[in-house]
Structure 1
């Protein structure tokens, strides 16, 4: 997974702007009852820090552990912290994968946006147990169902556009089944100066889709109970 994001890191934040605007109020609502005195909040697969910033804004008193194995994505996250002394004092960035990171017990919450599909079904059971073990009793985990939630092909489409200065950026995606359980998302990022294409970058991500019903069953087996769901964003809240 770490190499998959080497090319995407350059464009990630520009492409994610509409997504962040949609997710922000829902995530803030799901985290509204988090007791930040209980312990830190873990952000799994923090990426460039977009989700970390959402958690930091929603919980201004929380200590946050941001877990991100991909160095290009982590570089953007650390750049954010370099510019924000207030955040540097309360956000710790762990440069390992989630299952290689030793989280403290008694976390006030765990957040996993855009990440659960990167684990195959056998590994996901370990992920759920690790989340449950990290949470304080009564604490919540917010996990995103990554669309489409099932193995099916998706024709190439332009999913977003953005502008920065004189240049226009386009994000394109296509999904191809790899086997009965997984997909390969093929992402293309194009940069235009007017109508002239000046840059094109392609990358691929291997994912194992799971819908809300399946994730809920997996979480329940680990001792987590579904206590909230938002179908528009795919966010699910589980309580230990």
Structure 2
């Protein structure tokens, strides 16, 4: 597997800290109805594990499958799990892509944060089908949308900065159209010393398939899932029952 985060892995977890702090409330609300008695909980594109830890916190007895293709991201996730005997007992890390990951026959809940744009429209629709077939009534699928919602250029901007010790870690980027359905994100990262001088930098480019709310709701409805917004771009989908 090609690791899109091989050059940016040093920055990804710490720069997502504040964003995850803001997302905690809407994601927690959206995850209502998770049922570990039905089946394991799934964290798709688990990254460094911030969502995985939230699943484990909300359902301490649940078994969690954290699906993450990036070696760099898995390293951070596994380090977190190894230091907690309870997590190490209940969370399994799956080194596969979401598109090809083997899923259990029944699922107690699904989290798919900050990752859906990595899937092509065809792969995305196939994922909804695979998940919908395994989700019982009230079992939630939680997914979020990220800008842009359509193919357009996004000017360069600073996204986040975190100070650790005497160093400040920062990240930003820009996007440009990359075909009729996607944009290419050109990300930049840097480390500044206490004087503000740039002492190291890294760059990464990845393709992101755009998705707007109307399309998301329509695709989910096609497989019998009704979705509702929970705030900050987070949506909760569950099987429609009569």
- Asked if the contact 2:33/2:138 (under 8 Å) is kept, the reply is no
Q: What is the rounded CA distance, in whole Å, between the counterparts of 2:32 and 2:219 in structure 1?
A: 25
- Asked if the contact 2:176/2:184 (under 8 Å) is kept, the reply is yes
User: 2:234 matched to 1:238?
Assistant: no
Question: Which residues of 2 match residues 85-234 of structure 1 at below 5 A?
Answer: 85-193=85-193, 194-226=195-227, 228-231=228-231, 233-234=232-233
For residue 205 of structure 1, report the CA deviation from its aligned partner. 1.4
TM-score by length of 1: 0.95
For residue 2 of structure 1, report the CA deviation from its aligned partner. 4.1
For residue 101 of structure 1, report the CA deviation from its aligned partner. 1.5
Runs of 4+ in 1 over 3 A off after TM superposition: none
* SS class of match (1:173): strand
CA RMSD of aligned residues (A): 1.3
Q: What is the rounded CA distance, in whole Å, between the counterparts of 2:235 and 2:6 in structure 1?
A: 29
* SS class of match (2:16): helix
For residue 136 of structure 1, report the CA deviation from its aligned partner. 2.8
**Which stretch shows the higher mean deviation, 2-11 or 42-51?**
2-11
* SS class of match (1:69): coil
CA separation of 1:165 and 1:22: change in aligned 2, threshold 3 A: same
Q: What is the rounded CA distance, in whole Å, between the counterparts of 1:160 and 1:147 in structure 2?
A: 16
Q: What is the rounded CA distance, in whole Å, between the counterparts of 2:18 and 2:93 in structure 1?
A: 25
Q: Which runs of 5+ in 2 are unaligned?
A: none
Q: Which runs of 5+ in 1 are unaligned?
A: none
Question: Which residues of 2 match residues 33-48 of structure 1 at below 5 A?
Answer: 33-48=33-48
Question: Paired residues, what number?
Answer: 238
- Asked if the contact 2:184/2:207 (under 8 Å) is kept, the reply is yes
For residue 33 of structure 1, report the CA deviation from its aligned partner. 2.6
TM-score by length of 2: 0.94
- Asked if the contact 1:106/1:134 (under 8 Å) is kept, the reply is yes
* SS class of match (2:191): strand
* SS class of match (2:237): strand
For residue 170 of structure 1, report the CA deviation from its aligned partner. 1.2
For residue 37 of structure 1, report the CA deviation from its aligned partner. 1.5
For residue 32 of structure 1, report the CA deviation from its aligned partner. 2.6
Q: What is the rounded CA distance, in whole Å, between the counterparts of 1:46 and 1:221 in structure 2?
A: 26
For residue 38 of structure 1, report the CA deviation from its aligned partner. 1.4
* SS class of match (2:133): helix
